């Protein structure tokens, strides 16, 4: 009994293991609640009104609601005009613009993280963020160059070496950044530094990966680039217009200004717009032909024989529609049918990219990602739906449109050794002879 009393008396002096670990966590690194509470005390500064003084003076007599309407409208028309200009300048300029937009979006998201957590004085945060952006872009653009500029790469010795060891170089660059991050870890900020490490990588996933898919869509043909982007722009404009004039019923709490009237009106307007735009663009080779690199002229070409997807065909109209319109058949491009899928996604699922961005901004108590475009916010505010759309288009093309590419197959065939080429030739000749195709072709000659 004496020993038992002594043991009981000593127990309060001992600290349970879980409490010890909890106290250590508070010493070596802040808890999530501490980090969040401190972050909430220092939200990012609200962007100042960047509306041009000319517009401010011209619209000074209007209410804030109508003033915002006119500012957004004028700047929207300016952005649409800029969009037409870069389309006219060709694929190379489009790719450069996509990369510039990607860098600006990355900058806006990373800047939010830095402004929220700058009081912690985290070492190398911005430096490592931009370094990882460089690494990921090197990997993705290197893959694109190897895929679409294969002949040029094989012709130039330095490019051929870089292409051969591209993935190893990319992994080495990323591994260097990973080691730099580990060396930058500071006591008392471990958990927060890992938060920011995850922040950077999620930003790279959202921004860089999607912009890479945009460029892949562009190589399939300008129409696969222009129509999806235009559908998102149309839905954004028409949903705003319907919501502004007819909106009464709130759609989602994340965006209180979004209404069901705007959502539904934007959907129907976007489907009609997609059908009309697809009809116009399908008749021009410069829009429907894949973008290919011409080794002889060292430039991009968009000339080809349009596929069946872009040839007018006659379709029977269902009986119910015939009784209303009196038409039995209608002539349209098959691509217009695909445009319905694109415009439907742009108007029904695409806005969820905007809702996601709204939730992100609400989490950090900011109105916009930046104040780059008066009345619209930052570049990311305009492209939050575009990135989701880019992924869908890429998956849609791979699933329902793209087939084998003979030109790429021939390019790879020409880089083989002579004995390998001869072996493939004999195999192909034997296969075609067995099928009777080679003999038929010879007799026709």
pLDDT in tens, 211-255: 899 999 999 999 999 999 999 999 999 998 999 899 899 998 888
Q: Give a yes or no: residue 428 inside a domain.
A: no
Nearest to 211 by CA among 229, 199, 232: 229
Share of the chain above pLDDT 90, in %: 36
Domain count of the chain? Answer: 1
Residue 360's domain spans which residues? 65-122+186-401
Q: Give a yes or no: residue 29 inside a domain.
A: no
The pLDDT assigned to 44 comes to 53
Q: Give a yes or no: residue 132 inside a domain.
A: no
Q: Which residue would you say has higher pLDDT here, 414 or 277? A: 277
Q: Give a yes or no: residue 71 inside a domain.
A: yes
Rounded alpha-carbon distances, angstroms, from residue 201 to 101, 109, 228: 18, 11, 26
Q: Give a yes or no: residue 410 inside a domain.
A: no
pTM of the model: 0.79
- Considering 58-62, 277-281, 369-373, the range whose residues carry the highest mean pLDDT is 277-281
Task: Give the pLDDT band of residue 5 (cuts 50, 70, 90).
Answer: very low
Q: Give a yes or no: residue 164 inside a domain.
A: no
The pLDDT assigned to 12 comes to 44
Average pLDDT over residues 146-154: 79
Q: Give a yes or no: residue 56 inside a domain.
A: no
The pLDDT assigned to 138 comes to 95
Rounded alpha-carbon distances, angstroms, from residue 164 to 49, 148, 150, 408, 433: 50, 15, 11, 17, 36
Instruction: Provide the token pair at 318.
Output: 């269902």
The pLDDT assigned to 379 comes to 87
Q: Give a yes or no: residue 96 inside a domain.
A: yes
Average pLDDT over residues 68-97: 86
Alpha helices in 220-259 (DSSP H): 222-246
Cβ-contact 224, 338 below 8 angstroms? no
Residue 257 DSSP one-character state: E
């Amino acid at each position: 009994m004496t020993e038992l009393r002594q043991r009981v008396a000593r127990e309060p002096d001992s600290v349970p293991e879980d409490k010890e670990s909890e106290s250590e966590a508070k010493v070596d690194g802040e808890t999530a609640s501490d980090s969040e509470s401190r972050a909430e005390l220092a939200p990012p500064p609200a962007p100042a009104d960047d509306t041009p003084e000319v517009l401010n003076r011209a619209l000074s007599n209007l209410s804030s609601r109508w003033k915002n309407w006119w500012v957004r409208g004028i700047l929207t028309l300016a952005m649409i005009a800029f969009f037409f200009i870069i389309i006219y300048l060709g694929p190379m300029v489009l790719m450069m613009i996509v990369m510039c937009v990607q860098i600006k979006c990355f900058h806006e998201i990373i800047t939010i993280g830095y402004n929220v957590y700058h009081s912690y004085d985290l070492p190398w945060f911005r430096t490592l963020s931009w370094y990882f952006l460089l690494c990921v872009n090197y990997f993705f653009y290197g893959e694109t160059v190897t895929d679409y500029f294969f002949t040029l790469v094989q012709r130039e010795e330095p490019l051929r070496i870089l292409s051969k060891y591209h993935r190893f170089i990319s992994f080495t660059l990323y591994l260097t950044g990973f080691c730099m991050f580990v060396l930058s870890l500071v006591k008392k900020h471990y958990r927060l530094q890992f938060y920011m490490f995850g922040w950077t990588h999620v930003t790279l996933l959202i921004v860089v990966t999607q912009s890479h898919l945009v460029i892949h869509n562009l190589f399939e043909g300008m129409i696969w680039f222009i129509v999806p982007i235009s559908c998102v722009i149309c839905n954004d404009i028409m949903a705003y217009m319907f919501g502004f004039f007819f909106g009464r019923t709130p759609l989602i709490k994340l965006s209180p200004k979004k209404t069901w009237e705007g959502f539904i009106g934007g959907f129907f307007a976007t489907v009609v717009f997609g059908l009309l735009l697809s009809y116009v663009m399908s008749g021009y080779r410069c829009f429907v032909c894949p973008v290919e690199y011409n080794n002889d002229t060292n430039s991009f070409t968009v000339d080809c024989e349009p596929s069946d997807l872009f040839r007018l065909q006659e379709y029977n109209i269902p009986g119910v529609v015939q009784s209303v319109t009196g038409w039995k058949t209608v002539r349209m491009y098959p691509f217009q049918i695909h445009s319905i899928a694109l415009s439907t996604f742009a108007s029904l699922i695409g806005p969820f990219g905007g809702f996601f961005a709204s939730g992100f901004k609400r989490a950090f108590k900011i109105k916009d990602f930046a104040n780059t475009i008066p009345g619209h916010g930052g570049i990311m505010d305009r492209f939050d739906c575009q990135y989701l759309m880019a992924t869908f288009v890429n998956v849609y093309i791979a699933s329902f449109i793209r087939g084998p590419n003979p030109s790429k197959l021939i390019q790879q065939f020409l880089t083989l050794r002579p004995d390998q080429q001869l072996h493939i030739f004999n195999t192909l000749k034997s296969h075609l002879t067995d099928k009777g195709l080679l003999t038929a072709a010879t007799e026709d000659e």
